[in-house]
Chain A
């Protein structure tokens, strides 16, 4: 089993539903986005090309973050998910530097003391911030709690365009494998030999 995600750039309309679904599912504090959608514009008027590029942790097979982690907090599960053990992370940020995709976020100490409306926590934030820890590094976890319950990650579940597909890269008949084959899936920065588990279709 090797979980991965395929992002179809033809389908993505840049609506940011994934961004908000992730915030809502994971209850991340202000400034912390496990995923977001970048706007890329190239060309000159009137020959302009605009693409929306969702980015998230690539859950690399050869994860540079895992290699540099001195405490073993960043670890790879047998199913390919790269996760951070909150109890083991000491916040040294070596992984933050090592990630070539800039997809790791450091939660400063005190970060969880205030929410989107300052010190007044909403009932939602009061519940969800308990799942986080300050002074450590966080990132997209492919919604491991949902995956473990047999569900798709929240971004995949909501994507109105069905631009994100999640599944087993080891299974040649899975939807992700078939999409990568038929549409020519490309891994981001594959020359770095990180072997990302996220593929893009264009």
Chain B
């Protein structure tokens, strides 16, 4: 129904899309006399099937939050600082946009790089590049830090996916490492909780959860294996050792057919290629000679996976053999020393995992035969949000690759960022083209850095936005010869979500002008000069589809009521600013790309388009001329279940292989090393390895002995994303949950330190300190402190504030030395010393 018709009704249900986390579950809102009285999951949606998580259900309280920004605001208190009242006064849109455009226009004319940008609304990825269109390359936000700088590029390199999750419908042995899938977070949680519960209870799937804190998932698991933070890779490498060196369990058929495991590798780690064709060579056991991998008549079962072959006096080994040899010293005993899980447990889990994989078996789906590997390791940020996180990610992929479960029923399934699903394009060497940059194109290398987050030196990374603060404050370190003057924020909260909070505050102090687009005030807008009110998700239009596992299509976010206040859609605000500042053609050009517009729907460079018009063109570009916005207004959503062909072995359908041996990573690192050397720069490229190994030189595990406890932050289903921590219903619900109320410390550790529940503690890392109330418990590793994000807020918003603010990010660093060399992921755990302030 058309918008104007719908809202005229007295009593109706309006379908829309949730935005209480970064995903986009389908919802419907009940409106009576113009008031939203209930939000439920959309029962017709094949993903969440009417279900909704606590955050989504609480969306009403965000819509009607009296602390929403209702008009454009101007700061009248020139003094800025934490806890300082900005003394907001309402102003007109004309004044707000006029002032903002004038300030930013001047900067753009002088040097656009003086503008910092924190535009990271995950539902509106199409506007992230506003800064680039303006002419500034900086990200002053946590794009890669709290998402997965070390996750997404490795997924994309493996199989063109953005995310991944195990196959809920067929998996029978699920190892979950540092992830919330099926319980608390990631990939449409309301839908995945149901799938996971069905697998656990109806199908009797075994679940093993590996993490330092007993999360919701570990509580429901058959086994919880507490592990030392930042050592998950050691656990899985120990498993791989057992599978390959003790049990001889691996899927040779999958490796030969679908991976580069057979490609011959030279002693220097590079692939052996035919001199003329440059194609990788494999060893033909029958012919006893090296042949091109795709040589006509080559029988795959006669291609060597193992062994060593002398060619012209040089020994070459298949990549599988190289991987196996590389890990020959990763014994369970040695890995146990690193990760604290007993060697016997590593052996047992590896054996169970190998047996559950049913290597060799197949399954018929829709009349087509697929390999059936109902065992898989699932993982996310807890496992890889670390220094060497790229290697963590690769190790988790490798343990899955060994049993041949990538993108097959029962196994580890790639998930696309959006309706494009996995991006399957032919690359070189018969391989799938690696896709480490699905979010936005890479930054070109330059000898002299140009982005504060140094993206140009992380060729397969994702925006290490945490480096911005360090580089603004220490420009001489890498040779920045400009200083920032202004910051534009859209639906992001760098003051709260970046690491090294005190450094971030120093950067905010340096800035002359801050403009923020948001719907509520937060820790960052407290420092703003102008705040522009966005429309809330229940008041705006968008086609959205964020990381949908098992389904595809778009959900249509539509206003379920007329906007309550004088807000404007963020896309419209940014378009108008682009026009006023004078870069509308650049902006429209970017939107053509980011909203997938086909040529007949391209925007005219010099016309300003409304968000509605852009959405209509996007719909027509993706679904055809008949399925524009009007279609979505009538039908609601276009979501459907993915077909088996879309989910399973999509790369094989195009005859492409995926890496078991990550030579792409090595080659990228080698090239970066060459460039950096030529530039005379010291830059650590030692983590760009083709095979993940454990490396003892890890800053987290080599901190001075006085910092004797690991510390990390966690979230659960109620508190994922800052959006929910200022919602009173959520606040009330978590006030019944001890895990959200204090610093979790193991009872034995607490006894040893004389700490009791309720004691006021000081936690000091080398980078900062926080105070917090002790919560003595059993659900955490004895070497660790666990801190919920439910006690981290301090903004002017009155909901969610605790008497003692325990903001974990203050304890974290922000420097290159604490950043994963391969992917730019920050080390997100730290170590602290604890003292009791008062009992």
Using a CB–CB distance below 8 Å, which chain A residues touch chain B?
Answer: 8, 10-11, 13-17, 19-21, 23-25, 27, 30-31, 33, 36-39, 41, 43-46, 48, 50-52, 116-117, 120, 122-128, 154, 157-163
Contacts and interface: CB of A to CB of B under 8 A. Distances in A.
Interface stretch (B370-378, B666-674, B775-783, B830-838): B775-783
Nearest to B226: A46
B209 to A, nearest CB: 11
Task: Kindly name the residue among B32, B190, B226, B799 whose own CB sees the greatest number of chain A CB atoms within 10 A.
Answer: B190
A20 B736 contact: no
A46 B228 CA distance: 13
Contact of B216 (A15, A23, A48): A15
A155 to B, nearest CB: 10
A48 B779 contact: yes
Interface in B607-628: none
Given A17-B54, A116-B728, A160-B51, A44 B778 contact: yes
Interface stretch (B10-18, B59-67, B691-699): B59-67
A125 to B, nearest CB: 8
A46 B747 CA distance: 11
A23 B61 CA distance: 11
B70 to A, nearest CB: 13
Interface string B175-200: 00000000110000111011011101
A43 B58 contact: no
Contact of A30 (B64, B67, B191, B728): B728
B212 to A, nearest CB: 11
Nearest to B60: A124
A10 B204 CA distance: 11
B756 interface: no
A46 B779 CA distance: 8
B676 interface: no
Interface stretch (B33-41, B163-171, B634-642): B33-41
B60 A15 contact: no
Contacts of A37: 736
B201 A11 contact: yes
Contacts of A127: 32-33, 35, 37
Contact of A17 (B52, B64, B739, B778): B52
Contacts of B193: 13, 15, 160-161
Interface string B76-100: 0000000000000000000000000
Contacts of A25: 38
A158 B52 CA distance: 6
Nearest to B561: A123
A122 B61 CA distance: 8
Interface of B: 32-33, 35-41, 48, 50-54, 57-58, 60-61, 64-67, 183-184, 189-191, 193-194, 196-198, 200-201, 214, 216-220, 224, 226, 716-718, 728-730, 732-734, 736-739, 746-748, 777-780, 782, 798-799
Contact of B747 (A44, A123, A154): A44
A15 B57 contact: no
Contacts of B739: 39
18 contacts: A10-B197, A13-B184, A13-B196, A13-B717, A14-B716, A15-B718, A17-B57, A20-B729, A24-B38, A39-B737, A41-B779, A117-B65, A117-B66, A123-B35, A124-B37, A158-B52, A161-B194, A161-B197
A24 B60 contact: yes
A58 B798 CA distance: 35
A91 B447 CA distance: 77
Contact of B64 (A13, A50, A124): A124
Contacts of A128: 37
B718 A16 contact: yes
Nearest to A127: B35
Contacts of B746: 45
A13 B733 contact: no
B729 A123 contact: no
B219 to A, nearest CB: 4
B58 A158 contact: no
A17 B219 contact: no
A51 B219 contact: yes
A52 B219 CA distance: 9
A165 to B, nearest CB: 12
Contacts of B57: 17, 20-21, 24, 158
Contacts of A159: 51
Nearest to B34: A123
Nearest to A25: B38
B58 A15 contact: no
A36 B54 CA distance: 12
B774 to A, nearest CB: 16
Nearest to B718: A16
B46 to A, nearest CB: 15
Contact of B777 (A41, A157, A162): A41
Nearest to A48: B778
Contacts of A27: 37
A125 B66 CA distance: 12
B66 A13 contact: no
A106 B778 CA distance: 34
B51 A158 contact: yes
Nearest to A152: B50
Given A15-B53, A20-B58, A45 B220 contact: no
B184 A15 contact: yes
A52 B224 CA distance: 16
Nearest to A49: B219
B39 A24 contact: yes
A104 to B, nearest CB: 17
B197 A163 contact: yes
Task: Kindly name the residue among A20, A36, A120, A158 whose own CB sees the greatest number of chain B CB atoms within 10 A.
Answer: A20
A54 to B, nearest CB: 12
A124 B32 CA distance: 10
